[in-house]
Structure 1
Amino acid sequence: MIKEPILDIAHLAHLEILTPKFEESRKFFIDVLGMTQSGEKGDSVYLRGWDDYERYSLKLTASKTSGLAHVAYRVRSPQALERRAAALKGSGFDVGWTDGDLGHGKTFVCKDPDDHTIELYYETEWYEAPADKKPALKNQAQRFPARGVNVRRLDHWNGLAVDIKANREFYEDYLGFRLTEQIVLDDGTEAAMWMTATNKSYDFAYTKDHTGTKGRFHHVTYALDSREEILRAADIFLENGVFIETGPHKHAIQQTFFLYVYEPGGNRVEVANAGARLILAPDWKPIRWTTAERAKGQAWGLKTIESFHTHGTPPVEVKNH
């Protein structure tokens, strides 16, 4: 008998990212990426892509270090929120209820096996564009900003994890995510996973943390409409003195056309044309990549840059054994 799927998660909603260079990071996301500030509270600003329907998709918070504070997913209904909370309570992963944050209501907080903090909520504030940002077409969230890279929407994020298998099982069993692709080493160890709660090919990915440190962050990804826009983004990063880590190029896994940079606080940011592949099959068979296949590099032969395996936030010292 086929196990009934859990369909309570609607989509990836937002991330809270920490930065030790708050003003520089804020200017990067607004002036270079082209995001819009839609709120401010305490040591945080709230930012959005021009077609994110919620008030924000990124909470940027001043901190002594870099990294991920939390990731949030919107659920499909108030009942779905209660179901996920009930499933998680007593699991050892549950943290408990909060009143929520700017722009969204009551929230259930939990942690995955790698200590990444996860928020689940339903009640949300849809973005209402002020007069100077109202679009010509009412089915668009906001006027096109015509500033910098002009990222459209939050697409996915990538975390670093010590135990990929344990995290995969957590997201499958408690939150209903589906595995779409994975890397499995020759000894059977799961080294990376790409998972989805939607018809997108992935909402997030986890790769193995070479330092053995739990809860670290690899990157956040914002979507652009075309490959040409990503090529233009490379020029915009160049003009603004932004370090380009790797790309533009095409991933073999998930076939995403990519470009990676570091924002001033040290966090990795990707812009990508990621919407072409959809997972429509309810019985999708996960694609498994081997050690030898990954050694070939990216889709067109570009070797994966070493820092892609070693750079994560917050930075940690690697002890020599």
Structure 2
Amino acid sequence: MSSNALPENLTTLKRMVADTPTRPPLGDIAHIGHAQLFTPCPVETVAFFTDFLGLTVVERDGDHTYLRTWDDYEHHSLVVTGREQPGIGRTALRCSSTEALDRRKEAVQAAGLSGQWVEDEPGIGPLWVTADPDGHEIALYHETSWYEATVGQAPELKNQPQAKPGHGVGVRRLDHINYLAADVARSSGFVIDALGARPTEQIRLDSGRIGGRWQTFTQKSYDLVYTEDWTGSAGRLHHLAFATDTREDILRAADLAIDTGVFIETGPHKHAIQQTFFLYVYEPGGNRIELCNPLTRLVLAPDWPLITWTEQERKKGQAWGLQTIESFHTHGTPPVD
């Protein structure tokens, strides 16, 4: 072998990286700040999040209840809003600076989408509200306030915003959001090109369409997900996900669910895509909620190659556990006829 020849495995690696589309730099979007969930039964939905998942109510304002997980550092992680139909409302993304917010705002407008400034959430500065091509509302902001624990919630560890709850599952943080979309490629392309996310994994159907795509703003393997809406509808939710400390917390959650009447849709199992250990339940309003433990899997490579799964590979179901049940592909909120 000549001195300048590459070993075969390195040649393959270079080819794989070369075949990966150009990625925008990470950094302008720091992370998911919080999400808004619509529900026809807000009292029961709030009780689900406080009693079963262990979130804390920090403020109420009319139809809106603001809740937080114990390890999110901002004022709230979730807004529960009373509406006639369940579904996803606003997804708020914190930008790393005011300059980063301006850059993303300009990129969204260059993509032909408009937005407006609002100041309508406690603990959060001005938000620039727009929507993805499928109609999911997305807000960009930078100014925020750090949560100050109240009496009885102060943690012993000063690098922790709030003491761990002594009841429920005690989920650690809001982890990711899975939207349903009529056109996955278009909506995920907006998140990649205009908001600066990186795609990490995707499903390519036999027809050539992208059936699902996972994007990250951070070194987590994914933050926002788009999967194809079989009804062709727009703006719907597949699920909202909260991260637990350990896999054992998810097993405990399953036991708590059967003791408290929480409906388990499927799990605990392990996904093949993204390798997430999971449990899916429904909150009383009908929205699907995932408890997940993806904390050990990070995307550290700056040139991470986009992993593509075929339709046949996806049909194999989970990495292990029971096969994917039909409702996982058909249930979304708001419901459609």
- TM value normalised by structure 2: 0.92
Distance in 2 (CA, whole Å) between partners of 1:195 and 1:107 is 22
Residue 70 of structure 2 is matched in structure 1 by 50
Distance in 2 (CA, whole Å) between partners of 1:242 and 1:99 is 35
Residue 248 of structure 2 is matched in structure 1 by 228
Alignment RMSD (CA, Å): 1.3
Provide runs of 4+ in structure 1 moved above 4 Å: 1-4
- Where 2:89 maps in the other structure, the secondary structure is strand
Give the greater-gyration-radius structure (CA). 2
Residue 145 of structure 1 is matched in structure 2 by 165
- 1:70 corresponds, among 72, 77, 90, to 90
Query: Are the aligned partners of 1:149 and 1:233 in contact in 2 as well (CA < 8 Å)?
Result: yes
Identity of aligned residues (%): 55
Q: Deviations over 1:177-201 (max 9, x none)?
A: 0000000011211000000000000
Query: Are the aligned partners of 1:19 and 1:66 in contact in 2 as well (CA < 8 Å)?
Result: yes
Q: Deviations over 1:17-65 (max 9, x none)?
A: 0000111111111011111001111111101111111111100001111
Distance in 1 (CA, whole Å) between partners of 2:23 and 2:241 is 32
How far 1:85 sits from its partner (Å)?
1.5
- 2:113 corresponds, among 87, 90, 93, to 93
Q: Structure 2 vs 1, CA of residues 3 and 313 (structure 1 numbering), >3 Å: closer, same or farther?
A: closer
Distance in 1 (CA, whole Å) between partners of 2:65 and 2:207 is 45
- 1:239 corresponds, among 243, 247, 259, to 259
- Where 2:145 maps in the other structure, the secondary structure is coil
5+ long unaligned stretches in structure 2: 1-17
How far 1:119 sits from its partner (Å)?
0.4
Residue 219 of structure 1 is matched in structure 2 by 239
Q: Deviations over 1:79-115 (max 9, x none)?
A: 1111111222353322221124111011111111101
Q: How many residues align?
A: 317
Residue 299 of structure 1 is matched in structure 2 by 319
Q: Structure 2 vs 1, CA of residues 223 and 301 (structure 1 numbering), >3 Å: closer, same or farther?
A: closer
- Where 2:274 maps in the other structure, the secondary structure is coil
Distance in 1 (CA, whole Å) between partners of 2:99 and 2:204 is 36
Q: Structure 2 vs 1, CA of residues 103 and 12 (structure 1 numbering), >3 Å: closer, same or farther?
A: same
AA at the equivalent of 1:202: Y
AA at the equivalent of 2:89: A
Matches for 1:1-321 after TM superposition, within 5 Å? 5=25, 7-89=27-109, 91-300=111-320, 302-317=322-337
- Where 1:304 maps in the other structure, the secondary structure is coil
- Where 2:249 maps in the other structure, the secondary structure is helix
- TM value normalised by structure 1: 0.96
User: 217-226 or 94-103: which moved more?
Assistant: 94-103
Distance in 2 (CA, whole Å) between partners of 1:267 and 1:3 is 33
Distance in 2 (CA, whole Å) between partners of 1:230 and 1:140 is 22
How far 1:151 sits from its partner (Å)?
0.8
Residue 4 of structure 2 is matched in structure 1 by none
AA at the equivalent of 2:231: T
Q: Structure 2 vs 1, CA of residues 4 and 143 (structure 1 numbering), >3 Å: closer, same or farther?
A: closer
Distance in 1 (CA, whole Å) between partners of 2:261 and 2:246 is 23
